[in-house]
Amino acid sequence: MSGFGFTEEQVLRYSRHIILPKIGGAGQRKLLDAKVLCVGAGGLGSPVAMYLAAAGVGTLGILDFDRVDLTNLQRQLLHDTDDVGRPKVESAAERINGINPDVNVINHDTVLNSENAFEILEPYDIVVDGTDNFPVRYLVNDATQMLGKPLVYGSIFQFDGQASVFMPGQGVPCYRCLFPEPPPPGTVPSCAEGGVFGVLPGIIGTVQAIEAIKLIIGIGEPLIGRLLLFDALDMEFTTVKLRWDPDCPVCGKHPTVTELIDYDMFCGLPSGRPPLEAEHGVATTVEA
C-alpha cells in the first residue's frame, strides 16, 4: 500500500478495511489521521472507544472524571472487574491500547464545564457524546456548534435509545433544535430508579461509532437531520425527521445562547417533590 505510509503490520491489521471499496487505503489513512473525542467512558463510550480503536482512529480522547464502580460492569465493557476503584480514563486507555497499540489515547480525567470545554474540544475533528446528564449534553452541543465541529449524539433510557449527528452552522439541526432547553430540575425520576438495559448502550454506542467513521471517511448518509429511535423490547428501529429551527438558541438566525452555560447538575428529584414525571413531563436521565 505505497503512498499511504502504512507499516507492514498495519496493512494486515486493517486489511479488511483496505479491501473494502468504500474505505480502501485512502479511507484507512483518514482514520489513522483522525482525532476523535469521546465524552464519557461509560455505557455508550465503551463501544464507541473500542470500535474506533479497532478501526484505527489515530487519536482518541477519553473524557471522564469518574472511577470504575461495580454497578458499571453490567454494561461498560471498557472496564474489568479488577478495575473497580480506578479512574475510568486509566482502564479505558489500557483497554484501547490492548485492542490497538496504534491509537494515541489522550486522557481527560476531568469534568467538562464552561471554563475548559473549548480548550479540551478544540484539537479534535469530531466529538462523540456519551454523557449521562443534561448539563453536559447541552454544553457539548453548544461548544461543538460554536467551534464548528460535528457531534455524534447518543442517549439511552431503560430499553429505549436515540442517536443522531449534529453538524455545525445554520440549515442543519443541532440538539437544541430538538430540545431547546434542558428540562427543569425536578421533572426527572431518580437515576437509580431509571435503570438501563445493559446491552442497549452497545447498540446505540455502536451506531455512534459507525457514524463517526462515516464522517471521518466521508461515506454513506450520516444521521444528519434524522433521529434514530431504537426500542429494544419491540426490536424496532425508526427514524424521524429533524429540522433546523431558525429560532434555535444556538444555531438559529438570531442566537441567544452565545457563550457556554453551566446548567445545574441534577439527577433525581429535589426533596419534597413528588417522584412523578407525570406532574411536569417525561424527561429522563440515567446515571452510572
Partner 1 sequence: MPVVVKIPTILRRHVGDQPVVEGEGATLREVLEDLDRRYPGIKRSIVTDDGDLHRFVNLYVNDEDVRYLGSLDTKVEQGDTVSILPAVAGGF
State which residue, 28 or 208, has the beta carbon closest to partner 1.
208
For partner 1, give the closer residue by CB, 13 or 88: 88
Residue bearing cell 473524557: 63
In this structure, what C-alpha cell is assigned to residue 103?
A: 491509537
Q: Closest Cα to residue 37, out of 112, 94, 100?
A: 112
Burial of 238 (0-12, 13-18, 19+ CB in 10 A): exposed
The residue (of 195 and 218) whose beta carbon lies closer to partner 1 is: 195
Q: Which is nearer to partner 1, 48 or 146 (CB)?
A: 48
Smallest distance, partner 1 to C-beta of residue 269, A: 14
Which residues form the interface with partner 1 (CB under 8 A)? 40, 42-45, 72, 76, 129-134, 137, 154-160, 162, 178-183, 187-189, 194, 196, 201, 227, 229, 231, 233-234, 238-243, 277-288
Do residues 153 and 175 make contact, with C-beta atoms less than 8 angstroms apart?
Answer: yes
How many other C-beta atoms lie within 10 A of the C-beta of residue 104? 13
Residue 149 half-sphere exposure, CB side, CA atoms within 13 Å? 25
Q: Find the shortest distance in angstroms from Cβ 27 to partner 1.
A: 28
| Phi, psi for residue 151 in degrees, rounded to 5 | -125, 125
Q: Which is nearer to partner 1, 93 or 200 (CB)?
A: 200
